[in-house]
Amino acid sequence: MKRLVVFAVAVAFVVGMAGVAFAEGNPLEASEKAFNKEMASLVPKDKIVNAEQLHKVWQDVLAGKSSAWLIDVRTDSEFEAFHIEGTNHVQAGHWYLIPKKITDPNAEIYIFCRTKHRANYVAGFLTKIGYKNVHIFDGGVVGWAAAGYPFVNAFTGDFTINKYRQKPSDAEKGAKWRVWNAFK
């Protein structure tokens, strides 16, 4: 009985905290935005690149003319769905693994995610710990798609995205056997 009471209290606490975190007017939201801006400010403005600039670097890397690191910091499922060919993948929360692989503080590193929110954090952390040549791709894979550049995945090979959607379409939401429908 005691275990059941402890479990019930723990569940109530978790549910209550989730409600606070997702409540409108969350006081932590402004702090998170300010911290993200602070992390982004650690990367000099001349190290923020657009899709065309990253595309040139990407072409040079694929051609063997550059040893730059192109690092996608999206989640595993985002990366597996599609990614820029030849890029490395480290989830944003695992940025601390990068110094184990890239030991040169002068290495040319390009960080990107879906837009640039997570990239700001990772690039800021890398700059703060001593990397001197960290770049943020402003626009992320959404910007890459908008520029008409190709993606790959393990199942389809090369492809371009005609229209990038942030959420499933009504037709997708209406499908009867989609996992996300269970969580509506």
What architecture is the 46-174 domain classified under in CATH?
A: 3-Layer(aba) Sandwich (3.40)
pLDDT at 24 over 80: no
51-99 per-position pLDDT tens digit: 999 999 999 999 999 999 999 999 999 999 999 999 999 999 999 999 9
Q: Are 110 and 54 in contact (CB under 8 A)?
A: yes
Q: What pLDDT, on the 0 to 100 scale, is given for residue 166?
A: 78
Nearest Cα neighbor of 69 from 77, 61, 79, 78 is 61
pLDDT at 17 over 60: no
Q: What pLDDT, on the 0 to 100 scale, is given for residue 5?
A: 46
pLDDT at 6 over 50: no
For residues 124-150, give the mean pLDDT. Answer: 97
Where do the H-state alpha helices sit in 63-133? Answer: 76-81, 98-101, 117-128
pLDDT at 116 over 90: yes
Read off the pTM.
0.78
For residues 163-175, give the mean pLDDT. Answer: 78
For the chain, which residues make up each domain, given as ranges? 46-174
pLDDT at 109 over 50: yes
Strand order of the β-sheet with 109-112 is 48-49, 134-137, 109-112, 69-72, 88-89
| 3 state SS of 107 | coil
Q: Which H helix or E strand runs over 14?
A: helix 2-22
pLDDT > 90 in the chain, percent: 68
